[in-house]
A and B are shown apart, each in its own frame.
Chain A
Amino acid sequence: MRKTCFFVGIVAGLIVISVLAMQGCNDGGAKSGGPGSTGLAGGGFVFKEKLSEYGFFVNKLSDLQPAPGVLPYELVTPLFTDYAVKDRFIVLPAGQTIRYTAQGVLDFPDSTILVKNFAYRNPSNQKILIETRLLVKDPQDKRWEVMDYLWKEDQSDAIRHITGARIPITLLDDRGDRISTIYQVPNTNDCKRCHINNDVLTPIGPKARNLNFVRARAETGPGRGGVNREDTGFNQLVIWAKQGRLSGLPAIGQVERLPGWKDSLHFSVGQRARAYLDVNCAHCHTRGGDAYNTGLFLEYQQTDPEHIGILKAPVSAGGGAGGLNYDIIPGDATHSILAYRMNSTEPGTAMPELARTVIHQEAVALIRNWIDQLPRKRPLKKLQQKEQ
């Protein structure tokens, strides 16, 4: 019946059909988030089709040289994404400043755009850009919006992309070893999954405590290699305050500081492990986050041993728990679900569930080390920061 109908339709007027069909597609496109749609009725921020249209960068786009007013930044403990090399920028509206907040993400003015580029090092040690993610604070409804841009193979530009992608790559890890994997570009719902808390979309990385350090690539100061990491004059937050980009910053010594997960010179294994878990897990594993239902809460400030996972039985892990009994067994990383799931790439087992297709060997080693040195006795007493 349908075939007949189809046949009649074609015979009766191919041109009419295609015109109408295209019309139909355009309607569908506008309704379903085509170019120009931001999910807002009547105005608001409009995502552009190509990354180059924003003018974030000068000269060759793929060199990611920030235009004047575009602030590069780094995080002391970053999220792991398949050994990706990340370049991060804040684009502030002219004349506006970021307001300091002691807890949570800094208070960005309306129309702020956070730009995060993901690249990998190929076996020839070239940096290959894969995707650029934007977070925009819409001036109309004060809500953050997400969009992803997928880089063309020739690295000439990146194109707006909402459905996610799977890209086979061979990358060099931090030890220079080759790993072949299928990199997962998130779709827009994947983005929301990590960025939503209590139904509100929010940035994750740029919290004062995670920005509170001296960048290796500080854009002002003595230049590469010459930075004194102990000199707070080169601290990212201090520099922004001096430049008038950040208001309300207290004396830098009073600003909370998240440990660098690799910085064994200044921080204990426990502090580094908890910082890593905070950045890589706590956007979901927190009240109101995507993993609220698990009762496993991995924020750096969490002190309840049950919520941290100490002798906590899993809730909905199913086979993902590998038949193990507890998230963390103090002194026994081998039988702790937390370490087991970080050491897997199997869907349903691997944690984090998104944005990781290879194992972060160095982090697994750190977490195992931390669990193995947790005291076996009185594990249900509150964990004190000094004990970590």
Chain B
Amino acid sequence: MNTFEYSAEKSSGAVYERISAFRISICVPLIAICSVFFAGCHTGTGDGGNKEPGYKTTIAFHPGEEAKIVEAFLSVKDSTCFLLEEGLYKFDNLSIAQVSHIRIKGEGYDKTVLDFSMQTQGGEGIRITNVNGFEIGGLTIRDSKGDLLKISKCRDVIIAGLHAVWKTADSTSGGYAIYPVMCRNVLIDSCYAEGSSDAGIYVGQTDSAIVRNCRAAKNVAGCEIENTSHAKVYGNEFYDNTAGFLIFDLPALSKRGGFVKAFDNYFHDNNTRNFAKSGSFGTSWGVGNASPGSGMIILAASNLDIYQNRIVNNNSCSITIASGLSVDDKALEKIGENYFPIPRNISIHDNTLQMGGAFPAAAYEHHIGKILVGIEQKLNAQDPGRKNKRIPEIMYDGVSTNLLNHGTAANPDSICIRQTGGNVFVNADFLNVANPKKWHPTTEWKAFDCQ
């Protein structure tokens, strides 16, 4: 955890250095410079000392200038950097669309705070669309009604040193805190997300993404990579969520995910209740399916490499591998160019996997949690030799492509696991879970063991 604090400090420190230089230069008693700065126009096109290198225009603002900021965002031209000085800003919402090379920069997540609690319309606090070259960081955004930061259809995106939080972590929070979707080349570095009723950090329908050195806590899911290809997730800490980390593919979307690597992460103590909004029907889709106590869940995603992570104290299951059929009995009908519900080519190796002694209380109230509890009970009833061990660390739902081609191979989909320990794997036989007489989960895993 200290490592992460350090990197966050470091990035805000760098910002701070530049700000100090900026202060010194503006206090050179040049009236012109001072006046331009204090008049609140802050054109800063080169002579004010507050120019951000690499940007044609730099515009600085301070709290109280929210109306000007809204207008400046709406009329922004290519190659502009917005500097938001220390303090609390209040907005309904902000947006930037159809420009190139834009940066929004604060003086540090603990200094520059943007509050969206007065949001009255729309789906998010900040909305960035069709921008090529977008960077945001060094600030905190908080308490929107919808998502906090949505970045849609953008290229070359950097989100660094950004904190995105809801003070109340319940179903009234927006869905995603940090939400790039349908983008290309996204870097999310040293960010923190808290309180989302869906995923704190969510990368959707994107090609080429990196999530690193981030933290996420008190969300339903800490981080989710969904229908996103060529993603790398490393050096992160996701804790105190319902589920730590998800890799999902869903049907009927613009692209398929896969080719995701997750390594050197620390997913721990994700045992909180699933507070995704539920109605009379319950919640059986998306993140609502995440059982409390899940370290990491793979749903309908393929070509994944999961290694050298510490996945500790997630007390319902360290790693779940599930097909689309586990949540949607029409999943096979939805197979297409962008969707294949059965996970293939999954490599899980050299992770540290540990679970606590019992399921979290919240798991007993969750529809998937109940199944996990049932699996543990069934295994121990089938084999007294287990001596009431916990459910194994890795739960595979057992739905394979055998279902499509009537095959009989033990492991037709290259689920490859290289982990040590005596309680590593269960094939949970999900297809028969509703039929107690036929249901036979098994810990036999020779075919899946890639030692």
Contacts and interface: CB of A to CB of B under 8 A. Distances in A.
Interface stretch (B282-290, B315-323, B392-400, B413-421): B282-290
Interface in B275-320: 276-286, 288
B95 interface: yes
Interface in A22-36: 22, 24-25, 27-28, 31-34
B388 interface: no
Interface string A1-19: 1101110110011001110
Interface stretch (A72-80, A128-136, A230-238, A317-325): A317-325
A314 B286 contact: yes
B406 interface: no
A316 interface: yes
A318 B147 contact: yes
Given A313-B285, A315-B286, A324 B279 contact: yes
Interface secondary structure of B, over-half rule: loop
A172 interface: no
Interface in B167-190: 171-176, 179, 181-182
Given A21-B38, A187-B95, 5 more contacts: A189-B97, A190-B95, A315-B286, A322-B279, A348-B174
Contacts of A287: 254
B277 A347 contact: no
A162 interface: yes
A320 B75 contact: no
5 contacts: A2-B26, A162-B74, A319-B197, A348-B146, A357-B121
A330 to B, nearest CB: 13
Interface residues of B, number: 82
Contact of B26 (A5, A33, A311): A5
Interface in A157-184: 162-164, 166, 182, 184
B145 A347 contact: yes
A346 B122 CA distance: 9
A91 interface: no
A357 B121 CA distance: 8
A187 B70 contact: yes
B120 A293 contact: no
A375 to B, nearest CB: 16
Interface stretch (B6-14, B258-266, B326-334): B326-334
Most buried by B among A182, A188, A201, A319: A319
B31 A325 contact: no
A317 B175 CA distance: 7
B371 interface: no
A13 B31 contact: yes
Interface in B118-153: 119-123, 127, 129-130, 145-147, 152-153
